[in-house]
Amino acid sequence: MEDIKLTNKSTKSGSEETQEELKENNEKMKSVKEYGNTTMAVPNERIQVLSIIGQIEGHNVSPAQTKATKYEHVIPQLISIEQNKNVKGVLIVLNTVGGDVEAGLAISEMINSISKPTVSIVIGGGHSIGVPLATSSDYSFITPSATMIIHPIRMNGFIIGVSQTFDYFKKMQERINDFIVRTSNIKLEKLEEFMMQTDELLNDVGTILIGKQAVDCGLIDEVGGISKALEKLNELIGDEK
């Protein structure tokens, strides 16, 4: 009789363990869906992957059907990465159309201020505020077919037509330009030339750079894919030792 009781107890314990595992897996998948946090599903603390995709969402919530990266999700991730002693490096994967300027610049500054080696790779597009996000790392890559669009800042919604508005736009553009020049090898004159180009974009001002073009002007460090990016990150981690 005692044996039967023990067997039942063991079976119940196994069932509870299975439920706990299912709950844990659900939490992991939720984290992947909400935060793009792949390390929750594949625990590799040595190298953390930060994916920045779709539109950079700032103070305003994007429509439900819009793929977006939320800055309130990314910022805690970056702080956690900085505090985690087991994390040795960060790979930032970019495919973004741009978005909120201040949120994008805030994320860029945080990536740039991390004490651990960082490598970014533009795999589809790094447009608009995606440009400083791409240059914020210690070393940057772009795939041969990926594009980057450089253009002056824009603003949607209600705008007051006074000189102060123009001054505000000018100061914000200067902040972005200063960051890009500070974190890449492009010259300010060249960056401003790309921004004010009038024959590249339909009904807009700016320039499209494809793959190697972004490297040739000094905006991105190297053309390459994921394997090259990880190889470089491992090299930087090794140098840190």
Q: Is residue 78 part of a domain?
A: yes
Is 224 a domain residue? Answer: yes
Let me know: does 41 contact 92? Beta carbons within 8 Å: no
Residue 76 domain flag: yes
Q: How far is CA 198 from CA 42, 76, 99, 162, 177, in A?
A: 46, 39, 22, 25, 19
Residue 239, pLDDT score: 74
Give the 3-state secondary structure of residue 159: coil
Q: Give the C-alpha separation, 42 to 123, whole Å.
A: 21
Task: Name the more confident of 35 and 195.
Answer: 195
Q: Does residue 28 carry a pLDDT above 80?
A: no
User: Which percentage of the chain shows pLDDT scores above 70?
Assistant: 80
Is 190 within the bounds of a domain? yes
Catalytic residues: 128, 151
In a domain, 74, yes or no: yes
Assigned domain for 175 exists:
yes
CATH code at position 105:
3.90.226.10
Q: Is the pLDDT higher at 20 or at 176?
A: 176
Q: Which domain holds residue 165?
A: 46-237
Encoded amino acid at 22, one letter: L
pLDDT of residue 108: 96
Residue 92 belongs to a domain: yes
- pLDDT tens per residue, range 110-156: 999 999 999 999 999 999 999 999 999 999 999 999 999 999 887 76
Whether pLDDT at 214 is above 90: yes
Q: What's the residue count for the chain?
A: 241
Report the C-alpha gap between 59 and 102 in whole angstroms.
9
For the stretch 170-213, pLDDT in tens is: 888 999 999 999 999 999 999 999 999 888 776 788 899 999 99
